[in-house]
């Protein structure tokens, strides 16, 4: 159960001002059984596993939000400040006059602070607290401070990481700096890799960029990434390379469609706020299953993560390339 989603559904069920509308837009859509009884709901969800669950529940989903207005827009933000404000602005742009914007988020994600900011911009707000979350809603009228929404809208536009040419967007992994673990891996990549490669959890393309710079004989590289916004940034960041590059909006935990000569990755081990070592383990297993015999793997991980045993259990011979106070680089070969 996602407590923010439960709180949201409770607010809609119990607050008379929030009667089920004829149509609604759900930004950051997550499936809930109650929504099946709604006349029409359109979801937008950039994270592939959640988008798949939404689709499987039979709801309508858009890849890009159409230029359309709704009487109700629901926002279930992630954990990034800029993304949350940008989603408030996105919601505002899709509200019809008199329409309602409902937000729900955990207290640990700063719900109280975001509620106050939204109240400043809209001058009216109703709030419900439950499950250590807050659901709050506002009604669009002429009193809304459009200057604040303009500032928030800007937070959602693609931007560059300072002192680099890399394009990023609020809410994606390492959206304002290069991740130090990824940088350590980039500094220790082999120079002789060739053939078909894959980058698992490729983000906005930092590691693919590094390996293509380091290994001129790479024939093709496939990026697998769950966040569609990160993948869109990767397309821009890698556009100048002449190589064959595949961009896949894909949940790596479901396996890969083909096998590779070499794989590189900085595997995720967080889902939302929580640490999930299992997610990293499944990434390692997917990599092991998708390497050809003799295929190579290189990855970076936090030092304390027990990935050596996972590599061994999946038939890979491994060695530690380097470690610092926080990270280790592991290299492995499929027997």
Ligand X SMILES: C[S@@+](CC[C@H](N)C(=O)[O-])C[C@H]1O[C@@H](n2cnc3c(N)ncnc32)[C@H](O)[C@@H]1O
Chain residues binding ligand X by CB under 6 A are: 49, 173-174, 179, 182, 201-203, 206-207, 224-227, 230, 251-253, 266, 268
Residue the block writes with tokens 């008379």: 16
The CA distance from 242 to 13, in Å, is 54
Residues near 77 by Cβ (< 8 Å), separated by ≥ 6? 28, 83, 84, 87, 103, 105, 109, 114
- To ligand X, the closest distance from the beta carbon of 94 in angstroms equals 25
- To ligand X, the closest distance from the beta carbon of 119 in angstroms equals 31
Exposure of 335 by Cβ count < 10 A (0-12 exposed, 13-18 middle, 19+ buried)? Answer: exposed
- To ligand X, the closest distance from the beta carbon of 330 in angstroms equals 15
Q: Which residues of 198-209 are buried (b: 16+ CB within 10 A; e: fewer)?
A: bbbbbbbbbbbb
The CA distance from 288 to 27, in Å, is 35
- To ligand X, the closest distance from the beta carbon of 218 in angstroms equals 16
- To ligand X, the closest distance from the beta carbon of 287 in angstroms equals 12
Cβ(118)–Cβ(87) under 8 Å? Answer: no
Q: SS3 of 85, please?
A: helix
- To ligand X, the closest distance from the beta carbon of 327 in angstroms equals 11
Cα-based distances in Å from 190 to 140, 224, 233, 289, 335? 56, 21, 25, 21, 19
Rank residues 35 and 262 by Cβ distance to ligand X and give the closer one.
262
Instruction: Please give the backbone phi and psi of residue 135, each rounded to the nearest 5 degrees, phi first.
Output: -115, 125
Rank residues 73 and 330 by Cβ distance to ligand X and give the closer one.
330
Rank residues 89 and 300 by Cβ distance to ligand X and give the closer one.
300
Rank residues 174 and 314 by Cβ distance to ligand X and give the closer one.
174
Rank residues 49 and 315 by Cβ distance to ligand X and give the closer one.
49
Chain length of the chain: 335
- Output DSSP code: residue 113: H
- To ligand X, the closest distance from the beta carbon of 108 in angstroms equals 20
Cβ of 50: how many Cβ atoms within 10 Å? 19
Rank residues 156 and 201 by Cβ distance to ligand X and give the closer one.
201
Rank residues 251 and 261 by Cβ distance to ligand X and give the closer one.
251
- To ligand X, the closest distance from the beta carbon of 286 in angstroms equals 9
Q: Which residues of 181-191 are buried (b: 16+ CB within 10 A; e: fewer)?
A: bbbbbbeebee
Residue the block writes with tokens 């966040």: 227
- Quick one: tokens of 99? 């329409």
Rank residues 49 and 112 by Cβ distance to ligand X and give the closer one.
49
- To ligand X, the closest distance from the beta carbon of 81 in angstroms equals 18
Rank residues 41 and 256 by Cβ distance to ligand X and give the closer one.
256
CA-based torsion, 136, 141, 144, 147: positive or negative: positive
């Amino acid at each position: 159960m996602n407590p923010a989603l439960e709180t949201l559904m409770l607010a809609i069920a119990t607050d008379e001002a929030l009667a089920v509308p004829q149509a609604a837009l759900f930004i950051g859509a997550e499936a809930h059984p109650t929504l099946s009884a709604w006349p029409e709901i359109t979801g937008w969800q950039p994270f592939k596993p959640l988008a798949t669950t939404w689709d499987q529940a039979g709801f309508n989903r858009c890849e890009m939000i159409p230029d359309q207005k709704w009487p109700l827009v629901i926002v279930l933000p992630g954990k990034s400040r800029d993304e949350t404000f940008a989603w408030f602005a996105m919601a505002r742009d899709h509200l019809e006059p008199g329409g309602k914007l409902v937000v729900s988020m955990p207290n640990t994600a700063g719900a109280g602070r975001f509620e106050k900011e939204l109240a400043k911009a809209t001058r009216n707000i109703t709030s419900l607290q439950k499950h250590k979350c807050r659901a709050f809603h506002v009604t669009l009228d002429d009193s809304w401070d459009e200057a604040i929404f303009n500032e928030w809208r800007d937070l959602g536009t693609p931007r560059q990481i300072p002192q680099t040419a890399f394009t990023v967007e609020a809410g994606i992994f390492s959206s304002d700096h290069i991740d130090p673990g990824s940088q350590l891996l980039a500094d220790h990549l082999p120079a002789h890799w060739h053939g078909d490669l894959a980058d698992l959890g490729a983000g906005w393309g930092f590691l693919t960029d590094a390996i293509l710079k380091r290994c001129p004989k790479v024939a093709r590289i496939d990026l697998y990434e769950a966040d569609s916004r990160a993948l869109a940034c990767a397309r821009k960041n890698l556009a100048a390379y002449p190589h064959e590059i595949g961009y896949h909006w894909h949940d790596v935990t479901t396996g890969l469609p083909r096998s590779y000569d070499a794989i590189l990755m900085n595997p995720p081990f967080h889902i939302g706020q929580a640490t999930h070592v299992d997610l990293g383990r499944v990434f390692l297993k997917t990599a092991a299953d998708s390497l050809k015999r003799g295929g190579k793997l290189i990855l970076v991980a936090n030092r304390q993560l027990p990935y050596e045993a996972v590599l061994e259990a999946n038939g890979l011979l491994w060695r530690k390339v380097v470690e610092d106070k926080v990270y280790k680089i592991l290299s492995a070969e499929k027997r």
